[in-house]
Chain A
Amino acid sequence: MITVTELHKQFRRAAPKEGPFKGLRSLFSRDYQVKEAVCGISFQIEPGEFVGYIGPNGAGKSTTIKMLSGILHPTSGEVRIFDRSPHQERRLVTKRLGVLFGQRTQLWWDLPTRDSYDILAAMYGMDAAKKRTRLGQLRELLALDEFLDTPVRQLSLGQRMRADIAAALLHDPDILFLDEPTIGLDVIAKRNIRQFLKDINLNLGKTIMLTTHDMDDIEQLCSRVIVINHGRLGFDGTIDDLRRRIGLPTIIRVTYNKAESMEHEVPAPLRCHSRAGRTLTVECNREQLSAMEALRLLEQFGELEDVHMEEPNFEDIIHRVY
């Protein structure tokens, strides 16, 4: 459905000069610094996938999304969506894309929200009946009614994001590119939007690619993660693959009934993390040892009073990949 091959994007800017008259010299200079924003990225996305596209600030996420949606032309490499190029056949491809930039609204700032939908419907060539049914569905799903007649500039961030998502979905696109759809939202708004995205992916089969800095978005939504850093592909696979690849240990904390039980070495392959009173904390690599086996190993030194297990935090995993 989406095929990206060896995608490159370079931005050129005049090279800054050092020394006397640097301002003047840079005016006449023809030296350029080339910044590789995206550097040789290839991937394929199949229908119905929910892909998280993550990476630190400036990694090239937005640049990629903009190339996929036909806004930016790649320096080299190719994008094919429905086997068409979003650059050569921009109008045909954009008709079937829904794109959201969380940082910037796509709606008509000074007009009532409802008007934006009227204009968009006309742009995508929807007839009145189709628009009415579509908008009817979205109004219900995203609770748009409370602000349909309010000018966009007066909406709260949460309302605006809902309005923008509805705008991206109005023409019933098969593919959604969402650039930070939960940025700046409160916990409840985030949860609602996640639930909504999950629904349209599972029930309507929409293919979604989303960038975010919120790892909960990724963990709860995405069946697949693509990590990009400094414009290069760092990882492409499922979340479990990612966990396994990084191999962050599960933390197991056990409390023994008797203090004597503490007087032993921690058996391999478990590793001792810390000891305090009757509580022993060990690290366990789940690739090597299941949790039950780990507990059985620990039990042989005495009766357990309490067990506590902590899965590695997803954010820590991501830190490792960056």
Chain B
Amino acid sequence: MKWIHMYALLVRASIRSRMQYKFNFWFSSIMAAIINVVEFLMLAVILLKFGHIKGWSLAEAGYLYAVLSLSKALYRMFASDVHHLEKYLVTGSLDSLLLRPVPVLLALMSQNFSIKFGELIQGIAILAFSMGTMMQTGQITWTALPLTVIVILSGSVLLFAIGLLTATAGFWITRIEELQNITEDAARTAAQYPMSIYPKWLQGLLISVIPVGFANYMPSLYILRHEAGIWLVGLSILVALALFTIALRAWKIGLARYQSTGS
């Protein structure tokens, strides 16, 4: 409770800092939204032209896309600078976070907080459209709604864990941008689409090595398709929590290796 309060306070400071540069604040928020819309439009064009991808309808693909982008928006909103740890390692600015009697990860998460309006609104819109369509055809019922919320939350923990593990590698290798391209960006982009379009080895990769498939595809198999059982949702949560625990342990070890910079 104390730490949530602390986090909220730091986030407020972070927002006030960013509001000092109002143009940049609004411009970056709007640009991020536009990029997302364009991305989804490309997916929509393909689906509208062919009707489905490997047996996944427009509504289903939209659901997968929306769930993942909402998870990502939450992760990037509440833990923005975990993704930018490299900057702290290279400049040595992690020093000032380590000086304070506050968990370093918490302090890091609160830096450069930004509300991802664009991604949230767009994600919710696509999700509403997709779920509405599927409810009309009777493919899913209202029970899918709470499950979806759970999946989005668990997915954001999973993405956070993957991001944190990747960032932690920076304590050993310093520069992590390229690694992030693979573990965060490429893997997530791949998981935006129904995984059945990929060859088996890539599918395997996306549910084991970089288990981003558990953020949307795996639980959706149950929620949308009623395959397997509700344990698929449970497993997804478990994978997220397990990876998060591992990431926290690695983070602790990594912090002890922090080298700072000369001054």
Contact = CB atoms under 8 A, between A and B. Distances in A.
Interface of A: 11, 58, 62, 66, 69-73, 87, 90-92, 94-95, 97, 99, 101, 103-104, 106, 108-111, 115, 119-120, 122-125, 151, 179
B20 A73 contact: no
10 contacts: A66-B260, A69-B98, A71-B94, A71-B98, A71-B260, A94-B100, A104-B93, A106-B96, A125-B101, A179-B263
Contacts of A66: 95, 260
B61 to A, nearest CB: 41
Contacts of A123: 6, 100-102
B9 interface: yes
A17 to B, nearest CB: 19
B101 A91 contact: yes
Interface in B1-52: 6, 9-10, 13, 16-18, 20-21
A120 B13 CA distance: 11
A179 B21 CA distance: 31
B16 A111 contact: yes
Interface of B: 6, 9-10, 13, 16-18, 20-21, 93-96, 98-103, 256-260, 262-263
A109 B17 contact: yes
B13 A73 contact: no
Contact of A106 (B6, B10, B20, B99): B99
Contact of B262 (A58, A90, A124): A58
A71 B20 CA distance: 30
B134 to A, nearest CB: 46
A95 B102 CA distance: 9
A91 B103 contact: yes
B176 to A, nearest CB: 17
A131 to B, nearest CB: 13
Contacts of A103: 263
Contacts of B263: 62, 101, 103-104, 179
Contact of A108 (B13, B99, B260): B13
Given A66-B95, A91-B103, A123-B102, A151 B20 contact: yes
Given A111-B13, A119-B9, A90 B98 contact: yes
Contacts of A99: 99
B113 to A, nearest CB: 13
A108 B262 CA distance: 21
8 smallest beta-carbon distances between A and B, as pairs: A110-B17, A95-B101, A73-B256, A91-B101, A110-B20, A71-B98, A94-B101, A103-B263
Contacts of A151: 20
A71 B13 contact: no
Nearest to B13: A119
Given A73-B256, A104-B95, A104-B96, A122 B101 contact: no
A125 B257 CA distance: 28
A115 B21 CA distance: 17
A190 to B, nearest CB: 19
Select the residue from B6, B101, B260 with max chain A CB neighbours within 10 A.
B101
Contacts of A109: 17
B99 A72 contact: no
Given A110-B17, A111-B17, A119-B10, A71 B95 contact: yes
Contacts of B93: 104
A311 to B, nearest CB: 33
B89 to A, nearest CB: 13
A70 B98 contact: yes
Contacts of A119: 9-10, 13
Given A101-B263, A109-B17, 8 more contacts: A62-B263, A71-B94, A71-B99, A87-B256, A91-B103, A106-B96, A124-B101, A151-B20
Nearest to B2: A125
Given A111-B17, A179-B263, A94 B6 contact: no
Contacts of B256: 73, 87
B87 to A, nearest CB: 14
Contacts of A72: 258-260
A90 B258 CA distance: 14
Nearest to A94: B101
Contacts of B94: 71
A15 B13 CA distance: 43
Contact of B13 (A58, A87, A115, A179): A115
Given A111-B16, A115-B16, A71 B102 contact: no
Contact of B6 (A62, A69, A87, A122): A122
Nearest to B103: A91
